[in-house]
Structure 1
Amino acid sequence: MCAEKARGFLSGAGQSNVGRAQIEELADDIKALAIDYPVKPVEDLIPELARTQIEIFDYLRGKQPPLVSIDLHLLAGVASGLLAKASHDLRNPREAMTHARTAAECASLAGHPGLQAWAEGMRSMIEYWTNQYSQAARSARRGIELTPGNRGSSAIWLASSEARALAAQGRITEAKAAIEAADRIREVSFPDTLDEIGGLFSFSPARGLYYAADALARGRKDCATETEEFASRALAAYSSASPENRSFGDEAGSRCDLAIARIHLGNIEGAAEAIQPVLELPRPMRIHGIVASVEEVEKTLSTIPHQGRAGKSLSDEIVEFRRCPLSIENPFTDAKVL
């Protein structure tokens, strides 16, 4: 009887509903989407993002050898991470968090602590932009603790995310320490499997400068000079980057931080010049983070008692910008979860 059971097992062992070529095609699709994400409007990417996630989940519901399942779970985690960012950009934090949790679960099933940590970074981002700053700091810290030996660029992202969340709570000294920690990690970092995917899964030096500026902007006038320096350096780094290494969202955020710094320094004309390209972005590129950053500029401007003509003009332009945010039908309401 035992021998018959063994023969029955052997007859099905190695069978798979997905071949190596299909896995490689899916990996290529995922990499292309990750690279395209920071530089293209989210509505252009949604159909392919949704199709890819569904296809991977459909394969996982079938039968494949364990090593193939590991590959599929890793791809599912990356796809879900991209969908978390897409839902966040569409101002749907609940759906975004569902996809982030799915990314973390898939990463766990794939045995990939680096992606698990990255998923915590995505959770921190979602929480930060919904004003849940203490939760955002905790999520970033969990990601850091998940992979103490991780020296890929996602470790830099987690430290930078923690800095931004701490600064939003008014803990500027701790935020500066976290920025310094991110710099130390970068000095010893080397590319990991997520960096090899690239795009949204790689944390470039330019992006690090933007996060530092975003954190220090919370220090208002006391940190205005430092904020202006980091934001200017971020924009200079992005302007010299290759097209595929740019990020319209992070560049817009850097411009908003530069505008905030200049308002605190009494240079409203310079602030208007800094933010003008953001206010001219077409509607499909007005994602949640950009609109929220513009609102921070508006709040800062409102604290200035004598704005003059330049301040009034800038305020009117911001009001007009906010009237036309990105608004498309959200396809992620019924999020697929393993």
Structure 2
Amino acid sequence: MSSEPTTLLRLLCDRERLTYRKFNERFTLTGVDLFGRNPNNPTCGEPQFRRWTGGKLVGLPGAETCTVLERMFPGYTAAQLFAHPSEVIDPQVPAYDLDLEERIAMTARDAHEAAGATAGMSISDNTVDELHDQVVTLARRYHRLAPVRAFEEAEELRRKVEDQRDRTQVPAQLQSLMILNGQVAALLSAAAFNLGYLRHARTFARTAALFGETTRFTPLRGFADGSLAYIAYHAGDNTESVTKAERALSYGGLGDVAERRLHAIQARAYAHLGDIASAQRAIRLSEEPGRDRRDELHDTVGGEFGFTAERLAMSNSTTALIVGDSDQAEAAAHQALTLLGQRAPDEQSAHVRGGASADLAMARLLANDVEGAAEALAPVWEIPSDQRMTGIVVRTARVHRHLSRPAYHGAQLAGQIRERIEDFNRVSPPHQIGPHVGLLALEA
């Protein structure tokens, strides 16, 4: 790309590093969000994209196309997007200064990578530290990212780690890089699962488990086996799920957070097997006070590797629904939402809010409180389409199935909720770009 974009659209695409493929994906999803799944939605071929960004367009495209572009780049009209940047941005203010932090970050990465290139087969320990910091940052930002974006960032990070592994023969550095590689594989597994790709999520989780076993880094191995356990019960392999969770709990060196997560996963696995007593016992174990034990992954890195109190409550709410205890489910869902509300806005997980709200709605439906269920679902509708991941989709689908029973036929409010859920899930990533979400359980 040239250094002087001829249209504001090209400037914005350069700034966000939008290749044609990424631009087209966003354009298509935005069109679906605006107009629904319609074969007449506006499209953008690659030659058309080149004309748009190259200042070769005569006049403006159609009204619907302009509407999509204005939604993609809020704050600008279609006319401004196709105009020269100097006509829209004050020429006294350098355009790229608007994204100074991004430029600084990009320059810092480039400078760091250039310095690392001089190290030959022995890389600097600072390079390993920098990669570690990037893994920690991604894990802690994960809850704020759409799963597609999370996968892309993790994929790029995996390539960086692999590149450095090929350039060093120092055993301690290789050990650290393999652990980082395993952590990135675990994040890729979470992203693939959230997009509805269970088979690939399982492959990534097995990769993470292999790195954990090879490096003798027990927390990673425990986390990966826990992931394999919940992937298994979503796929209907309930016996395997119990086995994976029990094996992970047998490892030494796990902290309280790790064991809490594994007991919650174990509880769900038992619930799917119909072993209610074991499921309730596992729930109690997950809620017991810890013994002040920590580990280097679930606690020190944290983020997606952690397991917050509200996520625990949400998971146990779902397990209670599976075993048929609506009172316990409603209490746990309420607890999850209360705990979530006590966090700063940027620390609140849309996944937990949506999942707990859907569980609360389901618990109320079991008590035949349709109006209460509609009220509980209100926060769900506010979740942006690109963050409607597998856990939320299957929970709302569970509500939809319940309201599709003959007892609700002809009931106006029940019908409205069903239609709202259909519209909500239709534009979710698992339905748009993932396989059909016909899962048997709900994500932890």
Query: Smaller-chain TM-score range?
Result: 0.7 to 0.9
Query: Per residue, is there more helix in 1 or in 2?
Result: 1
Q: Equivalents in 2 of 1:74, 1:244: separation in Å?
A: 28
Q: Equivalents in 2 of 1:65, 1:92: separation in Å?
A: 36
Please tell me whether residue 203 in structure 1 is matched to residue 307 in structure 2. yes
Which residue of the partner structure matches residue 310 of structure 1?
413
Q: TM-score, normalised by structure 1?
A: 0.87
Question: Contact 2:175 / 2:215 at 8 angstroms: preserved in 1?
Answer: yes
Question: Could you say what the CA RMSD is over the residues aligned between the two structures, in angstroms?
Answer: 2.0
Which residue of the partner structure matches residue 71 of structure 1?
176
CA distances 1:5-28 after superposition (whole Å, capped 9, x unpaired): xxxxxxxxx984321111111011
Q: From 373, 383, 396, give the equivalent of 1:294.
A: 396
Please tell me whether residue 38 in structure 1 is matched to residue 143 in structure 2. yes
Which residue of the partner structure matches residue 218 of structure 1?
322
Q: 1:329 to 1:225 in 2, by over 3 A?
A: closer
Question: Contact 1:90 / 1:326 at 8 angstroms: preserved in 2?
Answer: yes
Count of residue pairs the alignment pairs up = 313
Please tell me whether residue 263 in structure 1 is matched to residue 365 in structure 2. yes
Task: For 1:87, give the aligned amino acid.
Answer: A
CA distances 1:115-155 after superposition (whole Å, capped 9, x unpaired): 101100111222233333332222111211123x5233111
Please tell me whether residue 229 in structure 1 is matched to residue 331 in structure 2. yes
Q: Equivalents in 1 of 2:406, 2:307: separation in Å?
A: 35
Q: Equivalents in 1 of 2:292, 2:313: separation in Å?
A: 16
Which residue of the partner structure matches residue 65 of structure 2?
none
Task: For 1:116, give the aligned amino acid.
Answer: R
Question: Radius of gyration: which is bigger?
Answer: 2
Q: From 209, 225, 238, give the equivalent of 1:133.
A: 238
Task: For 1:167, give the aligned amino acid.
Answer: A
How do 1:1-338 residues align onto structure 2 when only pairs under 5 Å count? 16-147=121-252, 150-184=254-288, 186-194=289-297, 195-220=299-324, 223-303=325-405, 305-306=407-408, 308-326=411-429
CA distances 1:205-234 after superposition (whole Å, capped 9, x unpaired): 1111111101001123xx111110000001
Question: Contact 1:70 / 1:109 at 8 angstroms: preserved in 2?
Answer: no
SS in 2 for 1:96: helix
CA distances 1:176-227 after superposition (whole Å, capped 9, x unpaired): 100111123x42243321111111111111111111101001123xx11111
- Flag structure 1 segments of 5+ consecutive residues without an equivalent: 1-13, 331-338
Q: Equivalents in 2 of 1:310, 1:270: separation in Å?
A: 11
**Structure 1 position 265, deviation (Å):** 1.0
Q: Equivalents in 1 of 2:374, 2:162: separation in Å?
A: 47
Q: Between the two proteins, what is the percent identity of the paired residues?
A: 27
- Flag structure 2 segments of 5+ consecutive residues without an equivalent: 1-118, 435-444
Q: Equivalents in 2 of 1:200, 1:127: separation in Å?
A: 19
Q: 1:169 to 1:304 in 2, by over 3 A?
A: farther
**Structure 1 position 39, deviation (Å):** 2.1
Bigger shift: residues 58-67 or 35-44:
58-67
Runs of 4+ in 1 over 4 A off after TM superposition: 327-330
Larger relative contact order, structure 1 or 2 (CA cutoff 8 Å, min sep 6) = 1
Q: 1:242 to 1:64 in 2, by over 3 A?
A: farther
